[in-house]
Structure formats: C-alpha cells, structure tokens
A = this chain, B = another copy of it.
C-alpha cells in the first residue's frame, strides 16, 4: 500500500523512512515537506497538494510537530485517507478526541501511535503484571535535551511539552502495563526562566487505593540517558530499562527482543487498516495535561541551546 510521510524532520529520517522501507505492507510513495523531502522520493510542498495530486495514496503518516498536526489530520481524514499520528497525537487533548470522532464518521483508520509501547519488554511486562498486587512504581526518564532535541525550538514553545515530550513515552508505557488506571495527585514542574515549557518534572500518581507511582523526568541529564520503570509487586520487582527494550523480573533478565519500535508501529497500522479499526488512546496526553493543570511551577536557571 502506498503511504506518504508528512513532515520530514529528524524522527521521519531516523525512524519512519527505514521502518517503511522494511515493511512488506507499505511503499513510501511521496513526502510532504517545504524544505525539500528525501532524495529520490516525490515531494509536495503542502499536504493539500499531495491529497489532490495522489488520490491513489490511501494512507499518510504525520510526523510534524504536534502544534500543526490537527489541521493536517483533519484534511487527510476529510480526503478519506487513513492516518497515523506520531506522539504526542496533538497539542491538546480535545483535538485528539475530535479527530477520533471524525475518523469514525469518515470510516477511515486513525492510529495515535506511541512508539515506546512497542519496545521489546512492554507486552511481557503487561502480561506479567496483570495478576500481581502492585505496591509502588518508580519512573526515571532522564536525558540530555541537547543530544536528543538539537535545535528543535518547537519543544520549548507552548504546546511543545518540554520534558514531557520524552516523559510521555514513559507514561505511554505506564498506561499500557498497569492493570488498573492511576491519576495524578501532585506535580512539580521546573520551568527555565526563559522558556515556556518545563525542563524537569516530578509527578505523583495514585490508583486511589494502595498504589503510588512516582516519576522524575529531567532534560538536564549528562553522561548517558536513563529511561527506566521499576514496579514493586507482591511477587517481586519488575524492571523495564533502556526505554522498555530490556525487561528483568527479580534478578533475571528476560532476554526480550523485537523487530524495533517503528517497524512494530507500521505493522500495527497495516493491521488496523485491514480490520477497518482505529486505535486512539489519549490517556498519556491526558496525564500530561493533568500535570500542567495540577502542577506547582518553579522557576529554574535559563536554558540556552
């Protein structure tokens, strides 16, 4: 099936293009980019131009920053195309819920992807936790923003989410592996004096009963990233490390393996299209919005790229 990539930035080049190239269901037929696209691939300056020129492309994958994703998704759905959204699926929770309704009404597939849910250890973690009694969860999600978002000014703009841009990956795993939902009770957000989004966050969640989840997100990490989730249960400790790519239960590494996150996303997108289904779970973004609403803000040192 021909597919088009809309927004040819770092994530498209690093992940989407190779994943599509390796996928037997999809062919990369075109791109949309104002700044030129990819060597050897048909490019259109605007999504509207693509939609008009290529009615034979039934699916689009939207990789632009979240602040402009709704308009593109709406246009693609209105033109009868299946749509895959990079994370976060939008700049607001409301727009994601609206897209979900529009896609259902139009009878097309909408897939709000969460790449970290496709990390090798996540499915097994979820299955193992399903019948355990959980007592606490500790999340550490810390990386160097200069390494992972070099020059990406949009992450510092309102709607760009700041440290929640990586942090939402942890929340997408958390919401996938917990047997019951949690909600935020407290948050502290550290805003650099000169920026509109936080560089660090401390979050506390509860299930309303015995389970507490504590999360620390930080973009000021130097010397190697830490992306891990540790779950204490009545049957021992479960540890997801390396962003979910490794899973240990107690002291035993489970040796999980996967074809890679983005190949798994495209495989799921193909299967949703084949089934005429959608997959839109806004819960990670809802937790982020809750953190901004409930969070106490503190001002910290200015950040300069």
Residues of B with C-beta under 8 A to A95: 183, 208
* A296, B297: Cα distance in complex, Å: 13
Are B184 and A294 interface neighbours, CB within 8 A? no
Interface residues on A, range: 35 or more
Q: Which residues 62-113 of A sit at the B interface, judged by CB distance below 8 A?
A: 70-71, 74, 90-95, 97-98, 101
Stretch at the interface among A22-30, A225-233, A282-290: A282-290
* A83, B70: Cα distance in complex, Å: 36
Nearest B residue to A101 via CB reads B181
Are B294 and A94 interface neighbours, CB within 8 A? no
- Tallying the copies of this chain within the complex gives 2
Q: Which residues of A contact B (CB under 8 A)?
A: 70-71, 74, 90-95, 97-98, 101, 158-159, 161, 181-187, 191, 196, 208, 283, 286-290, 292-297
Are A92 and B293 interface neighbours, CB within 8 A? yes
Give the Cβ gap from A27 to chain B, nearest Cβ, in Å: 30
* A186, B182: Cα distance in complex, Å: 28
Partner of A93, one of B101, B290, B295: B290
Partner of A290, one of B92, B185, B287: B92
5 nearest CB pairs, A to B: A289-B289, A94-B183, A95-B183, A92-B290, A292-B292
Point out which of A70, A93, A292 has the most chain B C-beta atoms below 10 A from its C-beta.
A93
Partner of A181, one of B97, B283, B287: B97
* A187, B158: Cα distance in complex, Å: 9
26 contacts between A and B (CB under 8 A): A70-B183, A90-B183, A91-B185, A92-B183, A92-B290, A93-B93, A93-B286, A93-B290, A94-B182, A94-B183, A94-B184, A94-B286, A94-B287, A97-B286, A98-B208, A101-B181, A158-B186, A158-B295, A159-B293, A191-B297, A288-B293, A289-B290, A289-B293, A292-B293, A293-B293, A297-B297
